[in-house]
Amino acid sequence: MAQIIDGKAVSAAIKEQVRDEIARDNIKAGLAVVIVGNDPASRVYVNNKKKACEFCGIKSFEYALPEETTMEQLLELIDTLNADKNVNGILVQLPLPKQLDEKAVIERISPKKDVDAFHETNVGKIMIGNYSFLPCTPAGCMELIHSTGVSVAGKECVVIGRSNIVGKPMAMLLLHENGTVIVCHSKTKNLAEVCRRADILVAAVGKPNFVTADMVKEGAVVIDVGINRLENGKLCGDVKFDEVSEKASFITPVPGGVGPMTIATLMKNTLTAAKIQKNEQ
């Protein structure tokens, strides 16, 4: 039976470190969160980010824009936030309504304030291992892996999913720690067979209960990034928890696994941004 990796506890420890450093060094840090439209899931995420800011002593600035916001209006707001010295980090909650070009919006955010690490400058820096910020969800997954005491070096790591936000950067972070990494996606052949090679298996697919026990090696570390809402309103991950936890050595639950880590890393990135910007003044 697997040990459950407690994302709530690990994330709480990170937020406490951020809070303590901010208080100790009297750092002024500010995070602007921009939300466009009325997506209920986005609303929940934004509220959680606000609460985490309050806990850490980071000032949060929320901009809730209407669904029909134009590109011009959104870019104007980003320019204002880029120039605002009280704002160290800018986060635009995705997905955006259809009329808005997400790529252009991300590229408009100053790379120094891009605490999500989605800007192509930051993506490039991560690729070569010379970065200030790591993308929040993959960095959170790495912290959870570290919390198990299992070293990534030399391990076979399989990531299911190749999105720019999760799968690709996750693979890169595992590679930076000397894992032997395979990235699987919707066109991968013999997926179960490939997954069974994994000492460390990361699922970022977005399909409930997609990873079943027959896809998992005995003793694997299983990280479930998926957040799927079932018809009964309950949240579930990409991993069939009950059966996979019988086989894995460590496993993250959903909720309470990767989710809280994403927010904790965001707090850490905002503090890093504030420190870098302070040094540049």
b/e string for 21-59 if b means 16 or more Cβ within 10 A?
bbeeeebebbbbbbbbbebeebeebbeebbebbeebbbe
Interface with ligand NAD (CB under 6 A), residue from 166, 174, 264, 274: 166
Interface with ligand NAD (CB under 6 A), residue from 5, 34, 205, 221: 205
Minimum CB distance to ligand NAD smaller for 37 or for 138: 138
The answer to whether residue 17 is catalytic is no
Minimum CB distance to ligand NAD smaller for 168 or for 277: 168
Interface with ligand NAD (CB under 6 A), residue from 31, 32, 35, 165: 165
Residue 194 Cβ, how far from ligand NAD at the closest point, in Å?
A: 10
Minimum CB distance to ligand NAD smaller for 77 or for 89: 89
The answer to whether residue 84 is catalytic is no
Minimum CB distance to ligand NAD smaller for 234 or for 278: 234
- The reply to whether 191 sits near ligand NAD by the rule CB under 6 A is yes
Interface with ligand NAD (CB under 6 A), residue from 2, 36, 160, 274: 160
- The reply to whether 253 sits near ligand NAD by the rule CB under 6 A is no
- The reply to whether 215 sits near ligand NAD by the rule CB under 6 A is no
The answer to whether residue 207 is catalytic is no
Nearest residue to ligand NAD by CB is 163
Residue 63 Cβ, how far from ligand NAD at the closest point, in Å?
A: 21
Q: Which of 15, 93, 217, 277 is catalytic?
A: 93
- The reply to whether 262 sits near ligand NAD by the rule CB under 6 A is yes
Minimum CB distance to ligand NAD smaller for 37 or for 253: 253
Q: Which of 15, 49, 155, 268 is catalytic?
A: 49
- The reply to whether 256 sits near ligand NAD by the rule CB under 6 A is no
Q: What is the full DSSP assignment across the chain?
A: -PEEP-HHHHHHHHHHHHHHHHHHTT---EEEEEEES--HHHHHHHHHHHHHHHHHT-EEEEEEE-TT--HHHHHHHHHHHHH-TT--EEEEPSSPPTTS-HHHHHHHS-GGG-TT--SHHHHHHHHHT--S---HHHHHHHHHHHHHT---TT-EEEEE---TTTHHHHHHHHHHTT-EEEEE-TT-SSHHHHHTT-SEEEE----TT-B-GGGS-TT-EEEE---EE-TTS-EE-SB-HHHHTTT-SEE--SSSSHHHHHHHHHHHHHHHHHHHHHHH-
Between CA 110 and CA 120 the distance in angstroms is 11
Q: Structure tokens of 104?
A: 């252009």
Residues marked as catalytic: 49, 93, 116
Contact residues for ligand NAD, defined by CB under 6 A? 137, 160-163, 165-167, 184-186, 188, 191, 204-206, 225-228, 258-259, 262
